[in-house]
Structures are given as structure tokens and as C-alpha cells.
Amino acid sequence: MTAAPQMWLTLGLLVAAMVLYTTEWLPIEVVSAGLLAVMLLAFHALPVPGPQGGNLLSPDQLLSGFGNPALITVMALLVVAEALTRTGALDRLTERIARFKLPAYPTIVLCLLAVIAHGALISDTSVVVMFLPVMQALATRMGISPSRVMLPLSFSSVLGGMLTLIGSSTNLMVASALIAVGQPPLGFFEQTPMALPLVAVGALYILVVVPRLIPQRAESGRGGGGKQFISQLKVPDGSPLVGEVAVAGIFRALPGITVHLLLRGGTRPSYAPYDDGPLAPGDVLIVAGPRKALADAAAHFPGALAAPAEEAEGGDRARPVRDPSDEELVMIEAMVPPASRVIGSTVVQAGLQRDGGLRVAGIERRARMMRRPMNEILLQAGDILLMLGRWGDIDALREEHEVVVIAGSVGHVPKVHHTGFITVVFLAAVGLSAGGVLPISVAAFAAAALLVAGRALTPRQAIRAINHRVVLLVGSALALSHALQATGAAGFIAQEMLRALGTAAPLPALAAYFGLVAAFTNVLSHNACALLFTPVGVGIAQKLGLDPHIFAIATVLAANCSFATPIGHQVNLLVMGPGHYRFADYLRAGLPLVLLLWAVFIVAAKVMWGL
């Protein structure tokens, strides 16, 4: 039963939401919260009566989207991805890929082709879970903005899901809906011949065009830009560095770091190629490197990266620092302001190193690269200090005026000792979900909880990993989707289409049907579109005297064209945070892909089915 006033109100809200999301006149959080507030008020004043007399769009129903398994899955997977990133669990894999010494673009292309191949046999969500941290690590290692690879990753996984019956849950939904209307289900490879040209053309578009449509957005607070910090690394007893030998002046245990000077036996200097023998306990390396390389060194060699302990003014000696393995270490940048009292002092004399925690891990001076021990460097105004400590140390530093903490420069030191644990948890979650043992929502949530319980992530880190924009967007979008179905708006459009296309020629009718399903899959969930439109497609096919499986395959392919909005598919939401995307980015890159696949489908239908 269609509720006319409520139906038109819902359609109006749909149009308004799409305009506001696309133009971004208001922040996406404001639009999402405002849309939900309007629906709560409107459908309280204009309830939609159900069969039992209750309100089909009560607050409980509209707010139920925040407990939707798809949203819970996305939130849990964001926590798992954060753990993989923070612990550097996939560094070895990316290092092996990098050893092939291929340029950045061919490497990314090979990975995306692998995503498409995996997507044909494994659920698209599982594929993105597996490849998201890999692509993120590769982008960082190759100096590419994550925004250039995350959307291609999402689109590639959805494309791969078109190829076989089990590639996407949408395909299985269509097969189930066919059975429900008395038709035989789709075969495992029945859709493959029609899907192949769409996937081929779509893959070419994703690899060549999409990266050029998305602006490069830097990941704040992690990269350190192109700064080169001078630092000092001591080789303590029992360190993995003991016994390391330089090859052509480079120590393989310190990737990305240049060793300028080696101090052995107290003050005896040694210069490249450091052929006096392997590193020994007590050696001091004067090094230079970008922030990420120094953070990795701090993680792999706890306590080794710091300014030396020397006699300070007043006779106090800088006390040793410790690296408690289960505490969260953060790295920030702080600038020496012109009026600071630390100007003309070394970092130890200035009292910047704190008992048991805060230390200076590097100094960057824009005027020149310094090539001497840190205890010989006198600080100047404008120097950038790379500082390492716990959150409490950083908060205390912000209250002082001798150095100014640079906004947005906070980064985290990987907990590399948790690498094995998180790798096992991650592979178990992927394996259990891909093998059908557990739903992806159960596996992902259990993995996230286990990682926090095992201290691979702190509760604070886990909460910060959840993108609030994604949560509000999904919650409001699911409420709107529920309203489209409860008010009869979606069914009304489908029935009007059925009435209009009942007398049309086969190819125009099929083309119009594909376009409508592709439009709706970017507003409703792709599974909801499969269930809603499959009976409509069967009805059109029977009126036109065609095989219903033709329209069923069209439903499968069109319902998988969820590229134009982040709410069309949960894998689009998964990459929204890591790629720093806006709603308009999906429309800019995804809408042309939808139109392109629509055109390819029309040509392929004409050739393969002779319509």
C-alpha cells in the first residue's frame, strides 16, 4: 500500500540529499544528521501505517541503521586495518613486492588486476579487506597519495564480483529471487560471457582514468613530507644491529636512512663505506632520514634512537629513556620559536628530554643538512625537532612555550612486536569469512575485539580508527533506504517502469531497465535492488516474450554498478577514510564508469543476444 504524502516527501528528501552530498555546500556530517532529523520529525508527524497498525517508520526503525550488520562490519574492518597499519604487519610483503623494482604504476596495476581476479571467487568485501592495507603500504612506500589507489581498489573488487555467481552477494540474491518467482536459478558462469566485456572496459577505465580524476590528498600527520632529520642511533648490547655489515656504505637493517658518521670507541670517527668490520655494542651512528624511516627504526630498535645523555647545565645528567612495549608511543614535530630560551643550547642542555619518556629523536634545519653528532648541534630559531614520547609527555609539552608543537604532526610508532599476533588474527578473519565458516560481520568484529584485548591497539586507537563521517552517512542513508521501501516510493517507480516498458522494443526496454537498476543501486543497497527489481525484470521479459534470465543477468550487472556514491556498496565506505574521499569524488569518478558500463552492456546485448 502506497502512502502518497509520505512517498513524495521521501522522494523529495532523496533529491535534496543527493544535491547536498554532491555539492558539499554543507559538511557531509551536517547533511547526514540533518537528513535523519528531518525524517524522524516528519514520519512522527506523518506516520506510515503498517499491516498491524504500527508506524513502519518509527524512530526505532529509522535509527536501526546504526546497528546494521553492514555498518558494524565496516567499523570493525576499519579497526583491523588500523592495527595492520600501526604494527607494520605487511611491511615484509610490500618490501618483497618492491624488490621487483617495478615502477610505481605497473606495481599498482598488477595489484588491481589481482583484486579483480580474486573478486570473481571471493566476496568483494573480503578482497578489499585483504588488499586495503597492502595498497596503503605500497602507496606510502612508493610516494603515492592513498587517494590515488583506494577508489580503484574498491571499484576493481566490485567489477570482479560481476564475473561469477559467487563473486558478490548481489548475484546470489538475484538467483534466490528467480527461484521465488518460479524461475530456475542462474548458473555459476551464466553471467560470465556478458560480464567479461564490462569488466574489461571497466578495468581499463579504472587503471587509466580514475587516478587522474581524484585529487591527490596527503595523509596528515604521518608522512613528514620531504624533511630530512639528523638523528643519532646507539647500538646497545643485545641489539639486532650488532653484527650488521655495511654494503656499499648502506646498512640493510636501516632502510631509508643514510649513515653519515660512525663513532666507535668513544670518539673515533669512521666514514663510508664503514669497512672496519660489523657493528658492535657501543657504536653510535649519526644518521639522516625522513620521519617514517626514523619511526620504523624507533619501533624495531627500542631505546636506541635518541639524543645522547651528556652533562647538562647545573650538573644534571639526562636519565635513560625506556620503551615499554605495551604503551602507545607517538612522534610529533615541534618548532623552536624565535624567543625560546633553548636557542644556543643542545637538546640535552635545554632540558627537552624527560625522565623515562620524552626525547628528541631528530633535528631538521632548513638552511642545510648537518653532519655531526646531536650533542654538538646548538639549536637555532626555526629548527624542527622530531620528538618521541607517550601521550602524557606530548600533552605536557604543549603547555610549555620553549618549543611549539606543530598542529597535525602527531604520528604513531609501530608496535612491531605485535606483528605476528595481528597477522594471525587478520588471516584467520579473512579465511573464516571467505570460506563461509563465519559471516564477514562476525569475523571482523571478533578480530577487532581480539586485537584490542591483545593490546595490538589501545581502545583510544580503535575508537579513533572509526570514521565518524562514514557512521553518520551510513546511518542516514539506511534510514532513507528504509523510507523508500516503506512508503512505496521504490515500488512505485518500478511499477511505473514496468507499465511504460511493457510495449517497448526488447533492446530499448532492456537498456532502460539496466539504467534504472544502476541508478537505484547507488541509492538503495545493492542487495535491496537485487530483491526489488528481479521480479520486475522477470515480468518485463514475460511481456516481451524473452528469456527471463536475460533480465536477471541485466539485474546482476546493473546492481553491481554501485560506483557513483559511497553508500552504494560497503567497500566504497571501507576506502572512504583511508583515501580521504568526499562524496563528490565518488560521483566524479564513478558516474562516468556507470554510464560507460551501461553503454557497453547495450552493445554487448545487441551482439550476444541479438536483440
Give tens-digit pLDDT for 469-528: 778 877 887 787 778 778 887 677 767 776 776 667 889 989 999 998 898 888 776 777
Pick from 165, 171, 162: nearest CA to 117: 162
Question: What pLDDT sits at residue 300?
Answer: 72
Contacts of 332 (CB under 8 A, 6+ apart): 386, 387, 394, 397, 405, 406, 409, 410, 411
Helices (H), 47-149: 59-63, 69-87, 91-99, 104-119, 124-141
Contacts of 229 (CB under 8 A, 6+ apart): 288, 289, 290, 291, 294, 361, 362, 363, 364, 384, 386
Stretch 229-253: mean pLDDT: 78
Helix/strand/coil for 567: coil
Give tens-digit pLDDT for 87-141: 665 555 555 555 566 677 788 888 888 889 888 877 777 788 778 777 877 787 6
User: Quick check: 309 pLDDT over 60?
Assistant: no
Question: What pLDDT sits at residue 597?
Answer: 96
Q: Does 330 or 408 have the greater pLDDT score?
A: 330
559 in Cβ contact with 534 (< 8 Å): no
Q: Does 451 or 398 have the greater pLDDT score?
A: 451
Q: Does 337 or 339 have the greater pLDDT score?
A: 337
Q: How far is it, in rounded angstroms, from Cα 44 to Cα 4?
A: 16
Pick from 288, 261, 468: nearest CA to 386: 288
Angle formed by the axes of helices 583-609 and 548-559, nearest 10°: 160
Contacts of 353 (CB under 8 A, 6+ apart): 306, 307, 318, 321, 347, 359, 360
Helix/strand/coil for 333: strand
Residue 503 exposed, middle or buried by CB count within 10 Å (0-12, 13-18, 19+)? exposed
Give tens-digit pLDDT for 558-570: 999 999 988 778 7
* pLDDT more than 90, % of the chain: 14
User: Quick check: 204 pLDDT over 90?
Assistant: yes
| CA quadruple 403, 404, 410, 411: dihedral sign | negative
Report which listed range, 159-163, 339-343, 399-403, is most confident: 159-163
Question: What pLDDT sits at residue 324?
Answer: 43
Report which listed range, 378-382, 420-424, 530-534, 553-557, is most confident: 553-557
Q: How far is it, in rounded angstroms, from Cα 307 to Cα 374?
A: 6
User: Quick check: 218 pLDDT over 70?
Assistant: no
* pLDDT more than 70, % of the chain: 82
326 pLDDT tier (thresholds 50, 70, 90) = very low
DSSP string, 158-175: HHHTTSSTTS-HHHHHHH
Residue 422 exposed, middle or buried by CB count within 10 Å (0-12, 13-18, 19+)? buried
Q: How far is it, in rounded angstroms, from Cα 398 to Cα 593?
A: 48
Pick from 421, 586, 575: nearest CA to 77: 575
User: Quick check: 461 pLDDT over 90?
Assistant: no
Long-range interactions of 504-511: CB distance < 8 A, separation 24+: 504/544, 506/544, 506/546, 506/611, 507/602, 507/605, 507/606, 507/611, 509/540, 509/544, 510/550, 510/551, 510/554, 510/602, 510/605, 510/611, 511/598, 511/601, 511/602, 511/605
Buried b (16+ CB within 10 A) or exposed e, 323-353: beeeebbbbbbbbbeeebebbebbbbbbbbb
User: Quick check: 452 pLDDT over 80?
Assistant: yes
Question: What pLDDT sits at residue 589?
Answer: 93
User: Quick check: 20 pLDDT over 70?
Assistant: yes
404-405 and 411-412 strand pairing: unpaired
Q: Which runs of E-coded beta strand occur in 382-535?
A: 384-389, 404-405, 411-412
Question: What pLDDT sits at residue 418?
Answer: 67
Question: What pLDDT sits at residue 321?
Answer: 43
Question: What pLDDT sits at residue 350?
Answer: 77
Q: Does 197 or 14 have the greater pLDDT score?
A: 197
Q: Give the domains, in start order, of the chain with CATH numbers.
A: 4-218+468-609 (no CATH), 229-409 (3.30.70.1450)
Stretch 344-348: mean pLDDT: 81
Q: How far is it, in rounded angstroms, from Cα 203 to Cα 190?
A: 21
Question: What pLDDT sits at residue 313?
Answer: 41
Q: How far is it, in rounded angstroms, from Cα 105 to Cα 101?
A: 11
Give tens-digit pLDDT for 43-56: 989 888 887 778 88
Q: How far is it, in rounded angstroms, from Cα 477 to Cα 493?
A: 19
561 in Cβ contact with 541 (< 8 Å): no
349 in Cβ contact with 411 (< 8 Å): no
Neighbours of 184 (CB within 10 A): 11
Q: How far is it, in rounded angstroms, from Cα 205 to Cα 134?
A: 22
536 pLDDT tier (thresholds 50, 70, 90) = confident
Question: What pLDDT sits at residue 358?
Answer: 75
Give tens-digit pLDDT for 401-447: 678 877 656 666 656 556 778 778 887 887 787 677 887 778 888 98
User: Quick check: 144 pLDDT over 90?
Assistant: no
Residue type, 347: V
Pick from 554, 369, 573, 414: nearest CA to 478: 573
Q: Does 95 or 300 have the greater pLDDT score?
A: 300
Contacts of 458 (CB under 8 A, 6+ apart): 328, 452
Contacts of 497 (CB under 8 A, 6+ apart): 512, 513, 516, 536
Question: What pLDDT sits at residue 210?
Answer: 92
Question: What pLDDT sits at residue 158?
Answer: 92
Tell me the three cell numbers of residue 404. 611549539
Angle at 455 between CA 453 and CA 459, to 5 degrees: 75
Helix/strand/coil for 114: helix
Q: How far is it, in rounded angstroms, from Cα 148 to Cα 211?
A: 5
The region that residue 315 occupies, defined by phi over 0 for left and psi between -120 and 50 for alpha, beta otherwise, is left
Tell me the three cell numbers of residue 555. 539485474
Residue reference for cell 516481451: 544
Residue 361 CA, distance from chain mean position:
29
Question: What pLDDT sits at residue 303?
Answer: 67
User: Quick check: 546 pLDDT over 80?
Assistant: yes
299 in Cβ contact with 255 (< 8 Å): no
Question: What pLDDT sits at residue 38?
Answer: 93
Pick from 276, 229, 241: nearest CA to 371: 229
